[in-house]
Amino acid sequence: MRIFSTLPRRRKLGCLLLCLLSPLLGAASVHLLQAGAEPVLAPHAGPLPVMPDTLEALRAGEDLDGDGLDDGLEGALARHHAPCYRFNAADPAAGSGAQSRDEEFFPGSVAAFLTSLELGVWQVDGETLSGAPGVFALDQPRLLGYPSGLSGQPLGTAPVYTHVYPVGLDRAVCEYWIFYPYDRADARLLGVSVPWGDHRGDWEHTAFRVRLEPPEIEHGYYYGHARCLLVPGQDLELVDGSHPVVYVSQGKHASYPRACQLATTGLPGFLLAHDDVANGRGPSWQSWQGPLIDLGERDAPRAGAARWLAFAGRWGPDGFQLGGLDIGLSPTGPAAKRSWGNHGPGQPWREAVEARGRLFDGAALD
């Protein structure tokens, strides 16, 4: 109970409801696995320190990450196919579910985040606050010591982290990774809105298999909630002919190829409604117009990621176990995931929409 007493109020409420309802859900027990305490923060004199990301030029004729693909081509491909991200906005006329609201939690820079972690200085709700300095070390099981609710950076200023590698002689895969300092996930439990799986740290990604000549996307892989949705190239919505659109679900940040709402559990909606709402009515981000930072390869990281790409721990302290399910675990980073350099198996995205949701704006699947 000592751990429980350190939790914020919203999370305590969620824990209590989970405990009360776990027999209904067929779960033997609810375990609080990694409930890291929130740091004690106080007003901080002076500005928020910001450490810029290291931008490394990728040069034609070089292959410094040793993947067999010309580094200049890697950089050109990543920018040519970088996504347009579209975020959510409240739409009372169409919305249902707890996440039908404006997006409030945006991407952040990893370099700036680690600087804040090590200095213990954070921007929370517009105030600059400080606490105990933390430590970032590659052998940590999880990052500790930072607060919930970090809203990220103004949209368009954080980098997208890229991983590009060849497939045979005439194709490549472009992965796009985004770090969000916070994931806010709510649900309706017996009709009452409660936190359900929100957590510190949130890594999200999409990937696209491309033909090199002529350049064209053959398949998209859209991730979220430990699942992969498969999208044929002809189903992708493109901006300027080459940039796929990624609809980002509010708060939880899962990726979809079209504006839609999907249930994320197989439970009856009257019991638990935990939907992704990705209507794309909020701000959009043309990521190719901002910083793209190539991560290199797992064993040959580029300078911009050399400090942290090998970190195999979780990027936050949160998470629950409900029976055999993991709920709201702070995630691992890009190179620690199974999907790094390895896409699919997955579910055809049309099948997922037909089974668990709907498209917005009256759009049809065909």
Shortest CB 287 distance to Ca ion, Å: 18
| Residue 141 main-chain phi, psi, to 5 deg | -75, -25
Among 38, 65, 183, 275, binds Ca ion (CB under 5 A): 65
How far is it, in rounded angstroms, from Cα 175 to Cα 156? Answer: 18
Shortest CB 180 distance to Ca ion, Å: 24
204 touches Ca ion (CB under 5 A): no
* Closer residue to Ca ion in complex, CB, 67/276: 67
Reference 65, options 285, 333, 341; nearest CA is 341
Shortest CB 289 distance to Ca ion, Å: 22
71 touches Ca ion (CB under 5 A): yes
329 touches Ca ion (CB under 5 A): no
175 touches Ca ion (CB under 5 A): no
DSSP tag of 7: S
Judge contact between 66 and 300, C-beta under 8 A. Answer: yes
Reference 96, options 360, 363, 362; nearest CA is 360
Query: Coil, strand, or helix at residue 329?
Result: coil
69 touches Ca ion (CB under 5 A): yes
Fill in the per-residue mask, 23 to 62: x = in contact with Ca ion (CB under 5 A), - = not in contact. ----------------------------------------
User: Which one of the spans 33-41, 64-72, 114-122, 215-223 is the region binding Ca ion (CB under 5 A)?
Assistant: 64-72
Query: Coil, strand, or helix at residue 301?
Result: strand
Sorted by sequence, the CB contacts under 8 Å of residue 209 that are 6+ apart come out as 167, 171, 172, 173, 217, 218, 219, 221, 343
Shortest CB 182 distance to Ca ion, Å: 29
Shortest CB 56 distance to Ca ion, Å: 12
Query: Coil, strand, or helix at residue 250?
Result: coil
Q: Which segments of 77-170 are extended strands (E)?
A: 84-86, 121-124, 127-130, 160-167
Shortest CB 72 distance to Ca ion, Å: 9
* Closer residue to Ca ion in complex, CB, 112/305: 305
Q: Using CB under 5 A, list all residues that contact Ca ion.
A: 63, 65, 67, 69, 71, 164-165
